[in-house]
Amino acid sequence: MTTEETAPRPPINWLNLTFLLGTLLIALVGTPWYLVKHGLGWPEAVTFLVLWLFVGVSVTAGYHRLFAHKTYQAAWPVRLFFLVFGAGALENSVLNWSADHRVHHAHVDEERDPYNITKGFWWAHMGWIFFKPEPIPKTVVRDLAEDPLVRWQEKYYVWIGLGVALGIPLVVGLLTGNVLGCLLIGGVLRVVVSHHGTFFINSLCHMVGRRPYSTEHSARDSAIMAVLAFGEGYHNYHHSFPFDYRNGVKVWQFDPAKWTIWTLSRVGLARDLRRAPDAAVLKAKIEVQFERAKERLQKSVHDFREHQEQRLHEAYASLQTALHELISLQRRRPKAQPAGEEEMPHETRLGLTYRALEEAMREWKRTLRQTKRLDAAAA
Ligand SMILES: [Zn+2]
Ligand SMILES: [Zn+2]
């Protein structure tokens, strides 16, 4: 056995390494120094906030959900906005960013995953950017390259990105007489904060948090990360239903990218918003709960274990029956009732199925609670 069998480490990308570590160092040392010496003025604070918001929404609602996953369609002024301010994140052109991201989803936690979390926190966070891996074939993003605006961004990415990230702060600085503050706070610090907002999705959101929708992949839901990254923290849901324009699927979950897309659709600037059907989301959640409850019971030494296992399987079976009935009824369009036939109307069947589902859900929750209680009593 020789070490030649392991994949050779790709060459170092010195430009990326110098840029990422250099900006991080300037932000970490320069910001406290500047704040102590000069205090925080409104020009640099406003530049930071506006750019952070514009770039953040362009990466999440634009780069990620519009381009990489095509969860909806957007009018050209919206695409242009996302391409300009998305470039300002200095996280690559949309074509390269989406190619990496599509491979991440297709091969999550595997060797081919560019930000594979099984290689550790730092690799997934930013280590992977310090190397030059084998380029991903452009066929992965052929559909995106059909858009002339995307091709324009690809061609001038560096200039657009630098123009937004440093050019805008420079102009604001010249107009307000505070070039250093605007470049440091509105420029470098903003770039670093935007960078790590995205990087934490690839690192922490594959390590810390809950997995309510699937345990097949490492992605996790974290409300804290959702607040820091414009709603992208609900990453377990996202990896389970990547075609959904929402990441925070519940109404109350903090997801500004979802709200932006929804608002754009209300004013006619976005359309064809894709959502996973509620029944499919519920089904995924129940599968995870079922597997966890089974595991819990298998470890249990309680006298009622067998009885509880049977109850769990029965509750699961009735829930599955109601869910399948609902999914098939929702798929089927109501047919016109032929004269003389006494078949139950579609709406009535749907209503009855909803009621059966509610009852099955109540029994399911009771069973889960009891399983937990038995487990705690046996412990
Ligand atoms: Zn991920
Ligand atoms: Zn994604």
- Reported as a single tens digit per residue, the pLDDT across 214-258 is 999 999 999 999 998 899 999 999 999 999 999 999 999 999 999
Beta bridge partners, 74, equal 270
> Residues with Cβ within 5 Å of ion ligand 1?
219
Q: Are 207 and 218 in contact (CB under 8 A)?
A: yes
What residue type is 8 in one-letter code? P
Sequence spans of domains, the chain: 3-271, 278-378
Ligand in closest contact with the CA of 221 = 1
Sign of the four-CA dihedral 124, 128, 134, 135 = positive
Query: What is the 92 CA–ligand 2 centroid distance (Å)?
Result: 16
Ligand 2 center–CA 121 separation, angstroms: 18
Q: How far is the CA of 135 from the centre of ligand 1 (A)?
A: 20
Backbone angles phi, psi at 364, to 5 degrees: -60, -45
pLDDT tens figures, 126-150: 999 999 988 888 899 999 999 999 9
- More confident site: 1 or 138: 138
Q: What ligand is nearest to the CA atom of residue 241?
A: 2
8 A C-beta contact, residue 60 and residue 169: no
pTM of the model: 0.89
Q: What is the mean pLDDT of the chain?
A: 91
- CA triplet 197, 203, 206: central angle to 5 degrees? 120
Alpha carbon of 188 to ligand 2 centroid (Å)? 26
Distance CA 208, CA 236 (A): 11
Rounded CA-CA distance 371/348 in Å is 34
Task: Classify residue 41 by burial, with Cβ atoms within 10 Å: 0-12, 13-18, 19+.
Answer: middle
Q: How far apart are CA 40 and CA 31, in angstroms?
A: 10
